[in-house]
A and B are shown apart, each in its own frame.
Chain A
Amino acid sequence: MPNYNLNVNHKDYNVAVSSAEMPLLWVLRDVLGLTGTKYGCGIEICGACTVLVNGKPEKSCDLSVASAASKRITTVEGLSANKSHPAQVAWINHQVPQCGYCQSGVLMKVAGAINSGKHGAEISKEIDNICVCGTYQRMKKAVLGL
């Protein structure tokens, strides 16, 4: 079985998987047990699986474990130690999530936008995630202070 070194949330892992093609999403969820990153569509549309790769948002459902190796991966579990990332604080203050399932991916998208120097309404423009609960209005409001 192919073997890869991964750095996820500042921790080093060595994973053995059935195939080099296995998407990072399933390595995170099934092999490493980091289930905060969600499966939504599997075809890079909904954004529920978004993680940061070297600080930039990427959809992990179609990112092979081979190509993720040796890069710096951040998942929603690694956003902060105590829900203290500004996006997390804003999401709680504005009571954004309903079912919450898409929000991990949305928060990673927001974190990525902040990393690239964006603020407030500029961050909204980066959010192209699908939220079936329709929490968009609160997302827009929540990013205004970021």
Chain B
Amino acid sequence: MNTHTHTPQSVATSETLSKLSRRDFLSTTAAMTGGLFIGYGLLANDAHGAVSTTQVNLWLNVGSDNSITFSVGTADMGQGSAQGLAAALCEELMVDPANVKIVTGKPSLAVPAPISASINTAGSGMIKNYFWRTRDAGAAAREMLISAAMTAMGDSNRDNYVVQNGVIINTSNAQRRTYGDVAASAATLPVPTNATLVSNLIYIGQRVKRQDIPLKVDGSAVYGIDVRIPNMVYAVIKHSPTFGGVLATTPERPRGAIAVVPTQVVAGTARGSNALGNVNALAVVAETTWDAMRLSKAIKPNWTIPVNASVLNTAQFKKDARTLLRSGTPYTGLNVPGTVYTVETVGTPKSAIGTSTKKLDLTYTLPYLSHACMEVLNCTVNYVAGVSCEVWAPTQAAKNVLILVATLTGLSVDRITVNTTFLGGGLGRKIELDFISQAVQVAMAINRPVKLMWSREEDFRHDMYRPMAAVRVQAGLGAGSVINGWMYRNVSPSLLGQRGATLSAKGDSQAYEASQDLPYNFGARSTEWVMHGSPIPVGFWRSVGASINTFAVESAIDEAANAAGFEPYLYRRMLLSDPRWIAVLEAAANASGWTSAAPAGKAKGIAIGAAFNSICAQVVEVKKGAKGPIVTRVWIAIDCGICVNPDQVEAQLMGGVIHGMNAALYGQQVCSNGVAQADNFNHNRVTLLHEAPEVKVIIIAGAIDRSRAIGGVGELGVPTFAPALANAWFKLTKTRVRDLPFLPGSTMSD
């Protein structure tokens, strides 16, 4: 997903990074007490205008007390990327990773940015964007510390010095200085811009253990929902059950409640049906969460239901989508539903298909999907009217929280503190601000510290869902069974459109990602995206557009292989010439024993795709169960450029596979007369331990070298699962599943 949700133009890609010179990099803040501080980050256009030019997202501090602190601007939602960057830092500082304290940065809008700032946790981007910057900063700090030690010891021959776990040793005379001894004087030195990096790596590429894990086995990790502050009360949110509903009259405060507070949709939270200014929810405040929940269930507010509620139905959305697969109006500069956007055109695919000997015309559909983070949405606020506001939240977008709080309270940002807690899953949902805005509104209304929480039912029913989609693929097979014409059209609601973005003639980048620039030798091709008009709020969901497009593309490739009479793996090999794609495809196939016969009653399917600068291929083995497919084994190969911590890459891919499996087999949010139907895990079936396949991960990574493009990992396990499953199922049963999920209407009792 994008690092900025407001302006797609300002997405921090590695391309924009490489254009940056080192002038943006390494700015010291020696004014701080307590040793050496170095901050660094991106120089990027800020999504919110002229509030900041230099973004210092990460900083390190070598304290005079020998402490080492590393502040990372992103949230910890289990992805382990901060830990990966810490390993990179420790490599250069030559200290044991166990000696470094990792903290989560707080957002700031100051100019220049202070030694802490936060950025959105998104786009599988932390290692990709900050690995080399972290190493450069660590190396610069080390050389400044050594320089200071050289002065202190009166020997200016750099060759005489080594560092052992934060102790600088002069090998000619065995004199020693700890980092702490020289940190203050190091802070007065200029920052070198070309410090040599460590070449004999001992942490990077190794299975360094994560610091957050011990906190997650004894209840000491504080998630947003665990925050407790003095004099705090508890609020539980209750939305209009119908999308777009508005509170008609505020119900009376029930006995036992402290307050009932209507909350409205504010700037930055308006999405689809949730229009700006709508009072679409109310919060019931009580002495405990349970009391707030109980009282919230008891009240029956009167909602004004929008006139279009009766057409907000899943069946209608699908029908509209299917119509738009064959119609639509040309792009005229306006972002309106029904507009056909041209993502790419090469040659004349229509005529190429027309003259082909075999023609395919295939339609795939995918449903809305809930995020279903284990930790429901919540936010804690301590607001002192006109004086200060402190917020604790499991957020993927702390800086956006800061801006929102400033807008809502009218306080200047220096009076606002935003604390990012641990996240019990983020998955893209916690980049949104709706739950934050509600908590701030309640705190301002009641003048008491408050923790606002959504019940699980509210969390399911008022998500910003992975968009539904219909995709049509037309392909023509020519001589030698090659594809000589490919026409791809994705019809789906616009994620960026719902966020007020003005789309270019190519359309919504979030919708078409992983459908364009495919390295298959298609001959002529066209890729289009058509805006669907459904107002159901949509959002970023782990792997975003790739979760849709990779299913359609890789299913269609398999169908083309079948039509051509080719074996699916060899067919892909024939159509591919990119050596990295071929290597990844081969790695997954070989690991799975692709060429040897599958065990009786089982079959394997394969799929490949790229997202977030990484390439991933997956082989899924399946057998028949009473109700449908049972996934028995999975092999997943990734080329992520370089691998900082194989243990975490494996963990992310294993988890991504399960996430993809939940979606492919069961995932769907059905809308009926404007009301989301699945309201708890009983109607949102997920994979349990006894159903989880063994996942074998193969990592293809090169030398740790600046010439290797670094790719993301966190979202990569998801997109290729569904097509690999559909392809395996076809091989086993000769039934082609083109509509997800495989098992609609599943419950946890199945």
Contact = CB atoms under 8 A, between A and B. Distances in A.
Contacts of B217: 76, 83, 87-88, 91-92, 97, 103, 107
Interface stretch (B264-272, B480-488, B687-695): B687-695
Nearest to B652: A98
Contact of B374 (A40, A80, A87, A138): A40
Contacts of A75: 219
Interface in A72-126: 75-77, 79-80, 83, 87-88, 91-92, 95-104, 107, 124-125
A92 B213 contact: yes
Given A38-B225, A39-B225, A100-B212, A124 B689 contact: yes
B574 interface: no
Interface string B184-219: 000000000000000000000000011011111111
A95 B649 CA distance: 12
B416 to A, nearest CB: 25
Contact of B680 (A33, A34, A43): A43
A7 interface: no
B288 A35 contact: no
B218 A37 contact: no
Contact of A101 (B220, B374, B680, B690): B374
A24 to B, nearest CB: 10
A108 to B, nearest CB: 10
B606 interface: no
A35 B651 contact: no
A128 B657 CA distance: 19
A127 interface: yes
B130 interface: no
Query: Chain A interface: which size bin?
Result: 35 or more
Interface residues of B, number: 66
Given A26-B289, A39-B376, A98-B78, A133 B680 contact: no
A140 B219 contact: no
A94 B431 CA distance: 30
B654 interface: yes
B748 A31 contact: no
B730 interface: no
Contact of B219 (A18, A77, A124): A77
Contacts of A19: 291, 294
B703 to A, nearest CB: 25
A87 B112 CA distance: 47
A75 B218 CA distance: 9
B638 interface: no
A23 B219 contact: no
B288 A132 contact: no
A52 interface: no
Given A97-B78, A130-B374, A43 B682 contact: yes
Interface in B423-437: 423-427
Interface in B645-682: 647, 651-652, 654-659, 661-662, 680-682
B692 A95 contact: no
Given A95-B647, A134-B657, A101 B424 contact: yes
Given A42-B455, A132-B659, A101 B689 contact: no
Contacts of B374: 38, 40, 46, 48, 99, 101-102, 130-133
A18 B424 contact: no
A100 B214 contact: no
B85 interface: no
Interface in B130-189: none
A102 B456 CA distance: 14
A26 B286 CA distance: 13
Contact of A36 (B220, B290, B455): B220
A128 B287 CA distance: 32
A144 interface: no
Contacts of A79: 218
A139 interface: yes
A22 B290 CA distance: 7
Contacts of A34: 219
A111 to B, nearest CB: 11
A17 B288 CA distance: 9
B234 interface: yes
A136 interface: yes
Given A26-B288, A124-B690, A130-B686, A99 B78 contact: yes
A71 interface: no
Nearest to B371: A132
B456 A98 contact: no
Given A128-B688, A132-B373, A134-B692, A98 B681 contact: no
Contacts of B221: 100
Contacts of B659: 132-134
Contacts of A35: 219, 222, 225-226, 228
28 contacts: A17-B288, A22-B290, A29-B289, A30-B234, A34-B219, A35-B228, A36-B219, A36-B220, A39-B225, A39-B289, A43-B681, A76-B219, A95-B647, A97-B78, A97-B217, A98-B655, A100-B216, A101-B373, A130-B686, A132-B373, A132-B659, A133-B374, A133-B655, A134-B687, A136-B688, A136-B689, A137-B654, A140-B692
Question: 6 shortest A-B CB distances, which residue pairs?
Answer: A36-B219, A134-B658, A101-B424, A100-B216, A98-B78, A99-B78
Given A95-B647, A107-B217, 19 more contacts: A17-B288, A29-B289, A31-B288, A34-B219, A36-B220, A38-B424, A39-B225, A83-B218, A88-B217, A97-B213, A98-B79, A98-B651, A99-B426, A101-B374, A101-B425, A132-B373, A133-B658, A134-B662, A136-B688
